């Protein structure tokens, strides 16, 4: 769970988004499994993705700072199955409301610390008050807009983002909705971008978080996600 704090604190985006309490029962969800050649499979959500061997895996279970190069065999101690139970509250910045499944980075730990970033990708699980990804994205956007109205830099950068409707290719046949947030520096200039995409499974969503600075970085991650099976 510590990696969630790391992801949130990268650009100091501390915005509380809380929607939809009193949901129906959310089932236990598979954590998924990882093969030695870095192929991840989740039986609950029925998807498989081959992780890129030129990237690094962040071991959420044993500490977010442990970057494991994926040009070697995966340790047999990570993602070996098991189930998780998630919160009924939809809050993308609240630690106990988001459960990261796994995280990968196209950065070394030194690059992260120095600010020289080339993209990050997080797979997590959150609840679905609307039992529909589009409805949940709309709820998050509405709350974000309220929060940004009190911060002129965030509001200026993200006004169009919060009005736009976008989709992300997930595998060959799925297009899933997402919202984009741009993060300003102290002078109001963009320092990076984050995408929050949701794939719905009735009472919960698969949450995909993409952090990037250039369009090339985003395209590389989009290409990876399009290969999901």
Cβ 68 vs Cβ 50: under 8 Å: no
The pTM for the full model equals 0.88
Q: What is the mean pLDDT of residues 22-44?
A: 89
Half-sphere exposure (CA, 13 Å, Cβ side) for 48? Answer: 9
Write down the pLDDT at residue 9.
Answer: 43
Write down the pLDDT at residue 143.
Answer: 86
Helix (H/G/I), strand (E/B), else coil: 180? strand
Helix (H/G/I), strand (E/B), else coil: 62? coil
Cβ 205 vs Cβ 127: under 8 Å: yes
Q: Could you tell me how many residues make up the chain?
A: 229
Q: What is the mean pLDDT of residues 13-33?
A: 66
* pLDDT tens, position by position, 170-227: 999 999 999 999 988 888 788 889 999 999 999 999 999 999 999 999 999 999 999 9
* Alpha-carbon span 152 to 90, nearest angstrom: 25
In degrees, rounded to 5, the angle at the alpha carbon of residue 223 between the alpha carbons of residues 31 and 136 is: 55
Helix (H/G/I), strand (E/B), else coil: 95? helix
* pLDDT tens, position by position, 98-155: 899 999 999 887 777 776 677 899 999 999 999 999 999 999 998 888 888 888 888 8
């Amino acid at each position: 769970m510590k990696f969630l704090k790391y992801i949130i604190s990268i650009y100091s985006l501390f915005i509380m988004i809380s929607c939809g309490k009193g949901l129906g029962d959310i089932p236990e969800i598979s954590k998924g499994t990882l093969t030695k050649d870095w192929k991840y499979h989740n039986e609950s959500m029925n998807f498989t993705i081959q992780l890129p061997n030129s990237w690094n895996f962040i071991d959420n279970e044993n500490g977010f700072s442990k970057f494991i190069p994926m040009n070697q065999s995966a340790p047999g101690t990570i993602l070996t199955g098991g189930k998780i139970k998630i919160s009924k509250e939809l809050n993308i910045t609240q630690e106990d409301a988001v459960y990261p499944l796994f995280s990968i980075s196209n950065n070394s730990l030194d690059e992260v610390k120095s600010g020289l970033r080339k993209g990050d990708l997080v797979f997590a699980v959150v609840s679905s008050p609307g039992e529909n990804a589009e409805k949940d994205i709309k709820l998050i956007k509405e709350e974000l807009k309220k929060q940004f109205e009190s911060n002129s830099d965030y509001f200026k950068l993200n006004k169009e983002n919060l009005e736009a409707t976008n989709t992300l290719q997930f595998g060959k046949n799925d297009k899933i909705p997402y919202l984009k947030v741009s993060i300003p520096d102290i002078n109001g200039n963009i320092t990076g971008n984050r995408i929050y995409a949701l794939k719905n499974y009735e009472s919960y969503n698969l949450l995909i978080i993409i952090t990037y600075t250039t369009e090339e970085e985003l395209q590389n991650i989009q290409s990876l996600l399009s290969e999901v099976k």
